[in-house]
């Protein structure tokens, strides 16, 4: 069971979402505006937020930005905007996944389960060590040469995913599916996060130490030679 906040101004859609989620044994709270959503997240602990983009008081993308300023809670965007560039922008802005309206309850349920699995990280604590890089997936901490790295949730997920497969070239499609929960997407999504990670690891794409891009194939994490 998960604690879910539904942010949707359309009463019909909101009621349908609440019915489906409660029938799936989730505990649900719901609001119809962005400001109400911010108050809820500040006051209560949620496992995931389902955020509509077409809110009456504030555009959903702005609401996402404000939400990210106060919480790291996973966010699934519900949008009627079937525009890939917009989706990529929202994912880069901190969304964890998205569903395009209209969608079925089963589709949303599958997305929700995938986001929760990634956020909870599994039941077995694991520590990955590669060169001077140490990643503790249970504590969600990463250290480089003894110094703790300040990573966003998505950066940590990406780094941990690659570290668990150290020495292997991981295809971009696999990264999108497992880290972002997308069957397809723009490579720019991965490139942007790799760029941020490289900066924090003290390396550059043309002078990689840990993160190596294999052109046309994928990404490999391995310790410096």
Residue 73 DSSP one-character state? -
CA 94 – CA 179 distance, rounded (Å): 13
Collapsed DSSP state (helix, strand, coil) of residue 28: strand
Instruction: Write phi, then psi, for 76 (nearest 5 degrees).
Output: -105, 120
Whether 8 and 107 map to the same domain: the answer is: yes
- Is residue 49 within 8 Å of residue 73, measured between CB atoms? yes
pLDDT tens for the 225 residues of the chain, in order: 788 999 999 999 999 999 999 998 899 999 999 999 999 998 888 889 999 988 999 887 888 989 888 888 899 998 887 777 887 888 888 888 888 888 888 888 888 888 887 776 654 447 888 889 999 987 889 999 999 999 988 899 999 999 988 888 888 888 888 888 776 666 788 889 999 999 999 998 888 999 999 887 889 998 887
Of 23, 140, 33, give the one whose Cα is nearest residue 5: 33
Q: Which residues neighbour 221 within 8 Å (Cβ) at sequence distance 6 or greater?
A: 130, 159, 162, 163, 165, 166, 167, 210, 211, 212
Helix axis angle, 60-70 to 84-92, nearest 10°: 20
Domain boundary among 74, 102, 119: 119
CA 57 – CA 36 distance, rounded (Å): 10
Whether 32 and 115 map to the same domain: the answer is: yes
Which residues are 78's β-sheet partners?
A: 52, 99
Output the domain CATH number for residue 83: 3.40.50.2300
Whether 137 and 110 map to the same domain: the answer is: no
Whether 104 and 147 map to the same domain: the answer is: no
- Is residue 128 within 8 Å of residue 135, measured between CB atoms? yes
Domain boundary among 119, 141, 163: 119
Whether 14 and 109 map to the same domain: the answer is: yes
pLDDT at 183: 61
Whether 107 and 132 map to the same domain: the answer is: no
Whether 32 and 93 map to the same domain: the answer is: yes
CA 8 – CA 128 distance, rounded (Å): 40
pLDDT at 185: 64
Of 76, 146, 77, give the one whose Cα is nearest residue 112: 76
Whether 145 and 97 map to the same domain: the answer is: no
Tokens of 74: 């996973």
Domain count for the chain, please give it: 2
Residue found under tokens 């997305």: 111
**Which residue range is the domain that position 59 belongs to?**
2-119
């Amino acid at each position: 069971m998960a604690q879910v906040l539904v942010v949707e101004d359309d009463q019909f859609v909101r009621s349908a979402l609440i019915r489906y989620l409660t029938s799936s044994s989730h505990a649900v709270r719901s609001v119809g505006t962005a400001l109400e959503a911010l108050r809820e997240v500040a006051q209560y602990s949620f496992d995931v937020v389902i955020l509509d983009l077409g809110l009456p008081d504030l555009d959903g993308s702005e609401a996402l930005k404000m939400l990210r300023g106060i919480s790291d809670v996973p966010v699934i965007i519900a949008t009627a905007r079937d525009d890939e560039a917009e989706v990529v922008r929202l994912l880069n802005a901190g969304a964890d996944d998205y569903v395009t309206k209209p969608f079925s309850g089963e589709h949303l349920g599958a997305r929700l389960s995938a986001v929760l699995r990634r956020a909870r990280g599994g039941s077995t604590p694991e520590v990955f060590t590669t060169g001077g890089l140490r990643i503790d997936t249970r504590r969600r901490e990463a250290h480089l040469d003894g110094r703790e790295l300040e990573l966003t949730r998505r950066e940590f997920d990406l780094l941990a995913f690659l570290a668990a497969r150290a020495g292997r070239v991981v295809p971009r499609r696999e990264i999108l599916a497992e880290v972002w929960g997308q069957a397809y997407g723009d490579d720019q999504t991965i490139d942007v996060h790799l760029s941020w990670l490289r900066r924090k690891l003290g390396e550059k794409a043309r002078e990689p130490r840990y993160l190596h891009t294999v052109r046309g194939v994928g990404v490999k994490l391995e310790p410096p030679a």
